[in-house]
Structure 1
Amino acid sequence: MQVSDPLGVPGAPQETWGAVQAHLADSARAGGRLILVTDRQGDRQNAAYAALIVQAGQAVIAAPAFGPRYGRPGAEALAELVKWAHERDWPVRETVLNSSDFVRVLAEPDAGEVGRLIAASNPSDPGIYTTLPKLKPLDEEDWEDA
C-alpha cells in the first residue's frame, strides 16, 4: 500500500478539511473508505479524530484536527467529512490508537502502521459523528482563567 504525506495542520479543523477536499477533488477514483482514528474510547464529547482515507491501494492521513476536542469548528469539520463520505456510499469505520502512538503514527505513517490501523478498524454509524455535541459556552470566569 502506498502511503501519502499527511494532509492538513494538527488542531486546525477548517484548514485540514479544506486540504482533504482539495486532495479528493483531484482524485478520479470513485470508491474509498473513511477510517476515523482517535485516541479516546467512550469519550466522544472530548475526542479528537484524524482521518485515514483509503482508495485503490493508496492511503492518506489527515492530521488530527476533527472532533469536539477542537471546539465547534472541529465538530463541524468532522460532521462535514463524515457526511461527505456517507453521501458517496463510503463505509465509515473507526479505530482507536493508544495515546502514546497517536501523534507519532499520524505525523509519519508508514505502510505497516497504516495496514494495522485498517485491520483494527470497526464499522461505525455515521450518525454519531454528524450530530453536533452541545458545547458549553465560556462565561466571563472562564475567560479570566484562560
Structure 2
Amino acid sequence: MNIADPLGVPAAPLETWQAMQTRLDDADLTGARLILITDRQGERSQAGYAALVLLGQGPQETAVISAPAFGPRYGAAGRAALAELVNWADGAGLPTAETILSGGDVQRVLAEPDADEVANLIAASNPADPAIYTTPAPPAEPEWTY
C-alpha cells in the first residue's frame, strides 16, 4: 500500500478540502472508498474528522489521508467542508465508512501513517449513511422558563 503524507492543515477545513480536491481531481475512483476518522463516539455535533480515501487495489492501493479538519469541531467551515467531502464521495459512488479511534491514536496515525496502522484503521471501519454528515442538525429546542 502506498501512503501519501497527510494533506491539508489541521483545523483548516477549507485549505484541507481544497488540497484533497486537487489530489483527487484526476484520480481513478473505480473501487475507491471514503473512511472518516474521528475520536468522538456518539457526539457527532462536536466531532472532528480526518479523511482517508483509498484508491486502487492490491499492491497499487494508495491511501490519501487528510489532516483533521472536517466537521463541527472546526466551526461552520468544518461542517460545510465535511458535507462537501461526503457529497463529493457519494456523487462519485464511493461508499462512506467511519472509524473511531482514541485521541492519541488519531494523532499518531495521522502524523506518520504506516501500512499496518492504515490496515487496522480500514479493518475497524464501519459503513455509515452519508446523510448523517450532510444533514444539518435540527435546532435545539428553546428552554422555557416559567
Residue 22 of structure 1 corresponds to 22
- Report the equivalent of 2:144: none
Matches within 5 A, 1:1-146: 1-56=1-56, 57-133=61-137
| Structure 2: distance between partners of 1:129 and 1:7 | 21
How has the CA–CA distance of structure 1 residues 125 and 107 changed in structure 2, closer, same or farther, with 3 Å as cutoff?
A: same
SS of corresponding position for 1:64: coil
**In the aligned structure 2, how far is the partner of 1:73 from the partner of 1:124?**
22
Native 8 Å contact 1:39 1:97 kept in 2: yes
- Structure 2 gap ranges (5+): 141-146
Distance in 1 (alpha carbons) for counterparts of 2:25 and 2:122 = 23
Comparing 90-99 with 28-37, greater Cα deviation is found at 28-37
- Relative to the length of structure 1, the TM-score reads 0.88
Q: In the TM superposition, what whole-angstrom CA distance separates every residue of 1:103-141 from its partner, at most 9, and x where no partner exists?
A: 1211210011000000000000000000133689xxxxx
Alignment-derived partner of residue 144 in structure 1: none
Q: Is the 8 A contact 1:8 1:17 kept in 2?
A: yes
Count of aligned pairs between the two proteins: 136
Q: Could you tell me whether the CA contact under 8 Å between 1:67 and 1:77 is conserved in 2?
A: yes
Give every structure 1 segment of 4 or more consecutive aligned residues whose post-TM-superposition deviation is greater than 4 Å. Answer: none
Structure 1: distance between partners of 2:121 and 2:12:
23
- Given that 2:29 and 2:92 are in contact with CA atoms closer than 8 Å, whether structure 1 keeps it comes out as no
Inter-CA distance 7–135: structure 2 relative to 1 (3 Å threshold): farther
Deviations 1:8-60 (A, max 9, x none): 00000000000000000132444410000000000001000000010111101
Q: Which range moved further: 28-37 or 89-98?
A: 28-37
- CA RMSD of superposed structures (Å): 1.5
Which residue identity is paired with 1:114? V
* 2:8 alignment partner AA: G
